[in-house]
Amino acid sequence: MSRLLLPLVSLIVVLAACSPKAPEPAPPATTSTTPAVSEADTQFNDLSARWLDGAMRLSPVFATQIGDHRFDAELDDLSPEGRAKSLAFSKSLLADLENIDRSKLSRENQVDASVLRNQLRYDIWGYESLQSWAWDPMMYSQLAGGAIYSLVARDFAPLPDRLRNATLRMEKIPMLFAQMRANLDPARVPQIHAQTVAKQNKGILSLIDELIVPHAGDLASADRQNLEAAIATLRKAVDEHQAWLDKTLVPKAKGDFRIGQQLYDQKLAFALDSQLSRADIRSRAEAELTRVRADMYSVARGVLAGREGAPETPEAPSAAQRQAAIQAALELAYADRPTRDKVVETAKSTLATATDFVRAKDLITLPDAAVKVILMPEFQRGVSVAYCDSPGPLDKSLDTFYAVSPIPDDWTDEQTTSYLREYNTRSIDELSIHEAMPGHYVQIWHSNKYPSVLRAVLSSGSFVEGWAVYAEKVMVDAGYRDNDPLYHLIQLKWYLRVITNAIIDQAIHVDGMSRDDAMKLMTEMGFQEEREAAGKWVRAQLSSTQLPTYFVGVQEHYDLRRAVEEKQGDAFKLKDYHDKVLSFGSPSGRYVRALMLDQPIE
């Protein structure tokens, strides 16, 4: 997973921690390729610059993440006054945007104007309707952790400068905890959210101990004393906050994690910015579930042919025969898995192999910046197995981090085995392809080359996640792992996961799907192991409308490639297509399609 489009109050998620060098005024929002700039373009460029400047002032942590370092010493204000200021800002900018005649904008600015309008409306809706600030404690814990992590994870400035700013932010984090306690209504907080934050809370101290304390000696005496005092105060604040979480929030958290049909449909429209409705998504996903399971059976028949003790694989199987054959073939793949202490090492190895293959097949232009496999920071654990943490659009030369969560120390041998069956060696291959090569790492590097900073900041989660899923199929089609049928089977299983993600997200939040029904869909129809399915159930409770981004995005990528192949015929070249489709930044698929096929920007 990677960057997501979220209401500004929630844009602090550090899945795409970004950091650059420019401390002075915010950079130009967009660069038009049109020789003559219209009055409407001038108006929009000015408005875009105002949004970038104002949004970064209102969200200093996000500013650090995308690379605007003017506010590295500051922290977001989520008090009622701070929220009111942000809401007024979004409403004012939206009113100004609606007064611009978008038909007179360049095509590039027409896309950016549509993206910005969607974001502003999403921000306003988030403050007024969704109101995450009143019931979601995770946004506060992620903000606190991101405030420190984004300053010290990358070498965008001399370490002493970053440590001094970290000191100033640490001094403000107790205030953020106080705002959290004042804002949250325990009666609205879902139990799973409260429990997750209670587990994550002390993760910020691990960041301090691992990334800051070892470098305290780099500071002059006075600065070091300030740092040590800030750390001591923060340790006390974290302990006090932990007591409130354990003794007040967790026991009193009575909210429903299901957001319901009205909020879900509204949020889905903002989050995806797609022409596919909830009903369209469900219909497509259910059809793909049937098709992909049929494809898996075909692969399983070949794998099991002639194997002693293999189940029957008739040409027209019963449901039970299909299930047994696919499961038996998957067992062969599960047998090849790393030990619990070798997951990260295996990720590094598979990343190297995938990189060599993409380069040899010349599938796409590769980045000139590094990607590093790291252990996922503790404050981020408990939601996903891995993520891609790319540098921001203003910081194009720094490292990308492919973060992998370690197996929890308190897991039993049975739980660990379940996890490693799911994340067997071939699955870690797939993980490395999705998160890095040629998935998120490659796509976001291309995206950051596009001159519109606005478009990069407001990247589409469905386009980004859809590309990563699309990249998995590209590798299979290109013959990765010497056309290994078991690898192909694992790739299809991963695609089943994408399909079931799209189904369970709306089924849980809108239709009231139970844990038992969700687990059955994932483990039986999707062949997921118990630990993977259980983790996805938790993730589906903690989030909404993010899980469908993978499926919607890849459907849009598949649809677009078919359209371009049909249009170009024999002139179609895969590398040229990949480079071009990623050359527009990361707007939602509908805009990339219009740009690729010279269609109107709607």
Q: What is the pLDDT of residue 418?
A: 87
Determine the Cα–Cα distance for residues 52 and 453; give it in Å rounded to an integer. Answer: 9
SS3 content of the chain, % helix, strand, coil (to 5): 65, 5, 30
Q: What is the pLDDT of residue 376?
A: 86
The set of residues, in sequence order, having a beta carbon less than 8 Å from that of 306 and lying 6+ positions away, is: none
Q: What does the chain come to in residues?
A: 602
Count helices and strands in the chain by DSSP H and E runs: 27, 3
Q: What residue spans define the domains of the chain?
A: 8-255, 333-596
List the one residue out of 262, 288, 190, 193 whose CA is nearest residue 548. 288
Q: What is the pLDDT of residue 14?
A: 29
Tokens of 232: 């001591």
Express each pLDDT in 36-53 by its tens digit.
Answer: 689 999 999 999 999 999
List the one residue out of 548, 508, 504, 519 whose CA is nearest residue 258. 508
Q: What is the pLDDT of residue 536?
A: 94
Q: What is the pLDDT of residue 35?
A: 53
Determine the Cα–Cα distance for residues 565 and 424; give it in Å rounded to an integer. Answer: 35
**Would you call 255 helix, strand, or coil by DSSP?**
strand
Distances (CA, A) of 484 to 82, 425, 481, 487: 55, 13, 6, 5
Distances (CA, A) of 398 to 67, 74, 269, 352: 11, 23, 33, 19
**Would you call 388 helix, strand, or coil by DSSP?**
strand
- Cα angle 448, 450, 452 (rounded to 5 degrees) comes to 100
Say if residue 339 is exposed, middle or buried (CB neighbours under 10 Å; 0-12, 13-18, 19+).
exposed
In the predicted model, residues of the chain with pLDDT beneath 70 are: 1-36, 379-380, 382-384
- Beta pairing class for 371-375 and 400-404: parallel
Say if residue 344 is exposed, middle or buried (CB neighbours under 10 Å; 0-12, 13-18, 19+).
buried
**Would you call 189 helix, strand, or coil by DSSP?**
coil
3-state secondary structure 215-251: HHHHCCHHHHHHHHHHHHHHHHHHHHHHHHHHHHHHH
pTM: 0.90
Amino acid 79 reads: S
Tokens 């869909």 — which residue? 521
Distances (CA, A) of 116 to 207, 334, 455, 541: 34, 45, 8, 28
The rounded Cα 406 to chain-centroid distance in angstroms is 18
Determine the Cα–Cα distance for residues 70 and 468; give it in Å rounded to an integer. Answer: 33
Contact 399, 370 (CB under 8 A): yes
**Would you call 152 helix, strand, or coil by DSSP?**
helix
